[in-house]
Amino acid sequence: MTITALNAGIRLALDTTREHKMRSFLTILGVIIGTGAVIGVGSIIAGLDGAITGLMRSMGPNTVIITKTTAMGQATREERKRKPLSYEDARAIAERCPSIEHVSAYLFPTQGLHRARYQGNDVYGVQLGGTEEAYAAGGTTMKVGRFFTDEESRHHSPVVVVGEAIQKQLLPNQDAVDKWIEVDGHSLQVVGVMDRPGTMLPGQDDLRVLLPYGTMQKMFPAARENMLLAIAYPGLVPQAEDEARAVLRLNRRVGYSAPDNFSMATADQLVEQFHSITAMVALVMVILSSIGLLVGGIGVMNIMLVSVTERTREIGIRKAVGARKSDIIVQFLTEAVVLTALGGLIGLMIGWMISRAANLIFPALPTSVPVWAAASGVLVSVGVGLFFGIWPAGRAARLDPVEALRYE
């Protein structure tokens, strides 16, 4: 088929689409939905993947996170029954692991809704935790003031450092340092305001309220759940993991052949775990969007069969003046492809609009339409047109010219 004939076929397909706008739109609606879903959700997943990858790696390449349960995913029944990590575990690691530069325990409060208050301003759902001076070595920087010291922890000093969002909501346009705020009914003096860390999800407010470990224990004597943050010397992360594992197994009396009753992960390992989760989400997205494409393809096949019936006499005339079967097949396949390609382009625009809307709602989420998603969306829509247009095109090509000319 020549370029001229192909152009004529495309013009004819566009003319047919303009003549039957509503029918054409309903025909490709499934393709629009399927392509739009691929583009829109793909852009959000790509943005979230990039953000969380940066989030985890910003913890530092030398940081080992030690928890009672797995860092990602739902904890199993066995993990929930494990003995909590303790402050003594952190001290044992600090004393016996030469590859580890800093270790800090992080004590979680007892469950419940925690509140910070200052002169009638309240912030609910604060991220309360008790930790040590070494916590700041993991990359915490101060906007104003300072971080608390281990000396203040040993003396259970009533001091606190807060995140940016806490300072903005409790003390807008004020210097927070040296102000006394109320946290769960306890008066604490603010000694510093932390910069928003890179380890925050896009759109998430920095609602951290960090107390010295000893102060936290005094406020919540029933609190038992700890997380340990170990920072290895550069280049010694594998040795640090081995040393910390050996110390913890000994401290927690784990049998020689028994598995660990704690979890250890580095930033890179957490990234790999997250990638496996996003890969599963992407697979589900592809399956769901393929349903829309299947519906759209069936619609295209149905409307093309109707078109063959409506244009039987035209097909007979074309055959009578010398058109070959291949010419008829290409003509109808071109029309099917033009229809689904239009659906793909409209779906691409809708997907881009979804991406922009997500970016407006969550300004810190770096959503963008990845090239692979845009290209695959359009290519798949074209493939749908080719696949589902084969039968109608073949049926048109097999028509007998004499019978076609007699058709009324």
Which of 81, 199, 83 lies closest to 141, judged by CA? 199
Determine contact, residues 124/156, Cβ cutoff 8 Å: no
Q: Are residues 402 and 280 in the same domain?
A: yes
Q: Are residues 206 and 125 in the same domain?
A: yes
Residue type, 177: V
Q: Are residues 398 and 289 in the same domain?
A: yes
User: Exposure pattern of 183-201 as b/e (b: 16+ CB <10 Å)?
Assistant: bbeeebebbbbbebbebbe
Measure the CA angle with vertex 388, ends 382 and 391; round to 5°.
135
DSSP-derived pairing of the beta strands 186-194 and 159-162: parallel
Q: State the burial class of residue 306 (Cβ atoms within 10 Å of its Cβ: 0-12, 13-18, 19+).
A: middle
User: Exposure pattern of 31-48 as b/e (b: 16+ CB <10 Å)?
Assistant: bbbbbbbbbbbbbbbbbb
Q: How far apart are CA 170 and CA 214, in angstroms?
A: 25
Q: Are residues 220 and 278 in the same domain?
A: no
Q: How far apart are CA 294 and CA 155, in angstroms?
A: 68
Q: How many domains does the chain have?
A: 2
Q: Which of 224, 239, 263 is the last residue of a domain?
A: 224
- 182 lies in some domain: yes
Q: Are residues 115 and 213 in the same domain?
A: yes
Q: Give residues with Cβ within 8 angstroms of 241, minimum separation 6.
A: 64, 232, 264, 266
What's the pLDDT score for residue 350? 85
- 136 lies in some domain: yes
Q: Are residues 47 and 139 in the same domain?
A: no
Q: Are residues 316 and 194 in the same domain?
A: no
Q: Are residues 320 and 401 in the same domain?
A: yes
- 50 lies in some domain: yes
Residue type, 159: V
Q: Are residues 134 and 191 in the same domain?
A: yes
Q: Are residues 297 and 370 in the same domain?
A: yes
- 267 lies in some domain: no
Measure the CA angle with vertex 123, ends 120 and 128; round to 5°.
130
Tens of pLDDT, residue by residue, the chain (408 residues): 566 666 766 777 677 777 777 777 777 787 888 788 777 777 777 777 666 665 555 566 788 888 888 755 566 778 788 888 999 999 999 999 999 988 999 999 988 888 899 988 888 888 899 999 888 887 788 889 999 999 999 999 999 999 888 888 888 888 889 999 999 889 999 999 988 765 555 556 778 899 999 999 999 998 888 989 888 888 888 899 999 999 999 988 888 888 888 888 877 777 777 777 777 777 777 777 777 778 778 887 887 787 777 777 777 777 777 777 777 777 778 888 888 888 888 888 888 888 778 777 766 566 666 676 777 777 888 888 788 888 888 887 777 766 766 665
Q: Which of 209, 224, 239 is the last residue of a domain?
A: 224
Which of 268, 258, 260 lies closest to 238, judged by CA? 268
- 130 lies in some domain: yes
- 249 lies in some domain: no
Q: Which of 164, 194, 224 is the last residue of a domain?
A: 224
Q: Are residues 377 and 317 in the same domain?
A: yes
Q: Are residues 285 and 385 in the same domain?
A: yes
Domain that holds residue 28: 3-54+273-406
Q: How far apart are CA 43 and CA 228, in angstroms?
A: 35
Which of 381, 385, 377 lies closest to 40, judged by CA? 377
What's the pLDDT score for residue 407? 60
DSSP-derived pairing of the beta strands 115-118 and 180-183: antiparallel
Q: State the burial class of residue 335 (Cβ atoms within 10 Å of its Cβ: 0-12, 13-18, 19+).
A: buried
What's the pLDDT score for residue 6? 65
What's the pLDDT score for residue 120? 82
Token representation of residue 42:
């793909």
- 305 lies in some domain: yes
Determine contact, residues 228/71, Cβ cutoff 8 Å: no
In three-state form (DSSP H/G/I as H, E/B as E, the rest C), the secondary structure along the chain is: CCHHHHHHHHHHHHHHHHHCHHHHHHHCHHHHHHHHHHHHHHHHHHHHHHHHHHHHHCCCCCEEEEECCCCCCCCCHHHHCCCCCCHHHHHHHHHHCCCEEEEEEEECCCCCCCEEEECCEEEECCEEEEECHHHHHHCCCEEEECCCCHHHHHCCCCEEEECHHHHHHHCCCCCCCCCEEEECCEEEEEEEEECCCCCCCCCCCCCEEEEEHHHHHHHCCCCCCEEEEEEECCCCHHHHHHHHHHHHHHHCCCCCCCCCCCEEEEHHHHHHHHHHHHHHHHHHHHHHHHHHHHHHHHHHHHHHHHHHHHCHHHHHHHHHCCCCHHHHHHHHHHHHHHHHHHHHHHHHHHHHHHHHHHHHHCCCCCCCCCHHHHHHHHHHHHHHHHHHHHHHHHHHHCCCHHHHHHCC
- 286 lies in some domain: yes
